[in-house]
Each structure stands twice: as C-alpha cells, then as structure tokens.
Amino acid sequence: MKQDPGHEIDPTQRPPQMQRIGLIGYGAIGRAVHELLLIHATGTATVAGILIPPSASIEPAAQNESLVVTDRLETLLAADIDIVVECAGHSAVDAYAVDVLRAGLDLVLVSIGALADAEREQRLRHEATAAGRQMLLPSGAIGGIDWIGAARSAGLSEVLYRSRKSPLAWSGTDAEQLVDLASLTSAAIFFRGTAREAAIRFPRNANVAATVALAGLGLDATQVELIADPATRHNVHEIEADSAGGSMSARIKGMPDPGNPKTSLMTAHSVLRTILHRRTAMVI
C-alpha cells in the first residue's frame, strides 16, 4: 500500500476539465469503476486515490506515481480529490460520509440502502445541505428512475419493486432463515414488505429497492418482493407503478457482477455515468 505521500498534488498541474476521483472501497464495484474510467474517461476523469481498510491490500487496475492507496481518509482527501465515490457498504457510509461532505466534496453513494436508516438519512441530508454539497445516488442496476421521479408530481400512487435472483445471490443473508435456498426447485417469494424493511434486512441486495423508493413514494410507501429463483442466471428487476399521469411496467434482466453475484454488472456503469455527467455540457 502506498502510504502518506510526502507532498500534496498541485492542482495547477492538471487539465482544468480533469476530475480526480477518490474511491472508498476497492471490491468488485470499486475496481470495476476504476477500470471503466480508464477505458471511457481518458482526459476527463482519473482515480487519484483509493481508501481501503488497514488490513487490506490491493493491486490497482492501473498504477501511476500520483495514485494514493491509503487507509486514512485525510490522506485520500489530500490527493486533490474533486469527488468521492463510496462503494464499501453501510459501515463505510457511517465512517466516512459526513467527513467527506464537511470537506466540501460531493459524494457518490453506491450503498443507497444505507439511507433506509432514517436517522442516518437525516444526518447526511443535513451535512450535505450545511456544506452546500450533494449526495449523488446512481440508478445502479435499475431503469425507469426518471419516470418514477417525474411521476411524483403527476399523482404517483403505487409502486411495487420486485427483485428476482438466483439462490446463490441470496446466500449469506436473512433469506437463508426464510427459505431453504439449497433445495429450491422453483421460484420462491421469501419477502414481502416495504422498501425500508427490505433495505435494512438485506443490505447487500436491496440497494435498488431503496433507489426506487427514494425516487418515488419513499421507503415506507414503496412495496417490495424478493424472490429466489433457481431457474435464473440473471438479476431480474421489475417495477410496477401507477400515477394520475399514467402507469409503468418495467423489467430488466441484468447480468450479475462476476466478482460479486449480489450486485449487477451495470452498477459500475451507472456510477461511471454519474461521474461523467458532472462535467458534461449536455445531460439527459
């Protein structure tokens, strides 16, 4: 791990349009975001620093002499960071999000399910407002978020989000206490409830449920079904929504991330889009 460089980066020595990204976490999503930036953001954005736990070691997707890998947030922020991307789970949100916002930086929050805790959500909203910064919530594996958000002012009345994944994707979660994942021969609905309940009980699987809820009716009025299906090799996301302005039915079959079947391959691409849109002349 490259620790505590002896000098800070001079911001005058980089192109004015270049975004310097700080990554919190370097698991499947963090590494994928780094790799996508190398491919799609040359001259536009670069990973300048990576924050990992003290006991961890990584091999970054690319090495350069200015890349900082550290276990200290203050060292990461000293690397002339423009925006921080959190992709390390709820504990990382608690450990670092407030300090990132107080440092005057926007925060891309990948662990959106962390906002299911009402106290945490209000604290982060307060800190972002006080600092004049934004928490940016990428749509992740799901589509139709723009419609849901627009329908809030068009009489949105009902939203159901349904997640269907292979039993393997639900392993290590509360689903193991609700259904025998190993012996399933057909699809089983093992959870029905609100988006808040889903995000709290299944924090590694229900970020999309929280995203749909926050875009629309909120965490307590959005209904969720979670399904383990041995016949699927995809992460299937469905939204059914009604409003005075119309109704929507959407179904997305996403490929699971090869490094983590609990998340979708498209999640990192959504983070990439969020980063690039900050400095794009035209955004849709």
User: Rounded CA gap, 207 and 165, in Å?
Assistant: 14
Q: Give the residue carrying structure tokens 């002896």.
A: 6
Tokens of 124: 């982060």
User: Rounded CA gap, 106 and 87, in Å?
Assistant: 14
User: Rounded CA gap, 100 and 275, in Å?
Assistant: 16
- Cα Dmax for the chain: 61
Backbone angles phi, psi at 79, to 5 degrees: -85, 30
User: Rounded CA gap, 240 and 13, in Å?
Assistant: 50
Catalytic residue among 7, 126, 237, 277: 237
User: Rounded CA gap, 48 and 177, in Å?
Assistant: 42
237 labelled catalytic: yes
Which residues have a catalytic role annotated?
237
